[in-house]
């Protein structure tokens, strides 16, 4: 059935164009607001249950496209593992399966309520920002440790002599 394969390819091309357009819009927004973009790790997206064929491809394509465009435009795109983001409360940090009931997030500990998808996105963003902060701190500490230890010991010797 060559005609079926051809129409499938045309659909994939149209979806790819739409995803490219949306990725460019997201990168432009990141540039305009000086924001990092936090997205679910594409390796996790590719393995989600219920995500087959074209949908799986589209999710991973979009994430990787954001990464490429981010590098080209100076916008940091962070891939974050989504574990527990849908059942965690961003207010009190409680993790409980009972917090989520279909599309409603309602924290059993503090009472925080939100749409479950919004709550998951907020948690993913917080988790991604923690990754960025750790990276920055680690890079900064590595630069500090790059100084020779001899220089620090000379400071201590100079202090003792005074």
Cα–Cα distances (Å) from 73 to 47, 76, 110, in that order, read 29, 9, 41
Locus of tokens 């059935």: 1
pLDDT in the model for residue 44: 84
Q: Would the pLDDT of 155 be above 50?
A: no
Q: Would the pLDDT of 149 be above 70?
A: no
Count CA atoms closer than 13 A to 32's CA, side-chain side.
6
Q: What is the mean pLDDT of residues 31-54?
A: 81
Q: What is the mean pLDDT of residues 71-83?
A: 95
Predicted TM-score (pTM) of this structure: 0.74
Higher pLDDT, 132 or 153: 132
Is 45 in contact with 82 (CB distance < 8 Å)? no
Higher pLDDT, 44 or 86: 86
Question: Is residue 134 classed as helix, strand or coil in its secondary structure?
Answer: helix
Q: What is the mean pLDDT of residues 60-73?
A: 95
Report how far residue 40's alpha carbon sits from residue 66's, in angstroms, rounded to the nearest whole number.
Answer: 11
Report how far residue 53's alpha carbon sits from residue 57's, in angstroms, rounded to the nearest whole number.
Answer: 6
Average pLDDT, the chain: 85
Q: What is the mean pLDDT of residues 117-125?
A: 96
Instruction: Please report which confidence band the pLDDT of residue 39 belongs to, taking 50, 70 and 90 as the band edges.
Output: very high
Q: Which residues pair with 39 in a beta bridge?
A: 79
């Amino acid at each position: 059935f060559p005609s079926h394969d051809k129409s499938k390819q045309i659909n994939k091309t149209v979806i790819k164009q739409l995803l490219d357009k949306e990725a460019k819009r997201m990168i432009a927004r990141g540039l305009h607001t000086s924001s990092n973009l936090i997205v679910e790790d594409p390796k996790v997206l590719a393995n989600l249950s219920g995500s087959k064929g074209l949908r799986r491809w589209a999710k991973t394509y979009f994430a990787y496209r954001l990464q490429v465009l981010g590098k080209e435009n100076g916008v940091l795109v962070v891939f974050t593992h989504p574990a527990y983001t849908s059942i965690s409360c961003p207010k009190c940090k409680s993790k409980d399966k009972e917090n989520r009931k279909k599309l409603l997030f309602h924290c059993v500990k503090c009472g925080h309520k939100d749409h479950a998808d919004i709550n998951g996105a907020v948690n993913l963003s917080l988790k991604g920002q923690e990754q960025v902060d750790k990276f920055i701190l680690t890079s900064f500490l590595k630069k500090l440790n790059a100084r020779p230890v001899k220089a620090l010991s000379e400071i201590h010797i100079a202090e003792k002599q005074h």
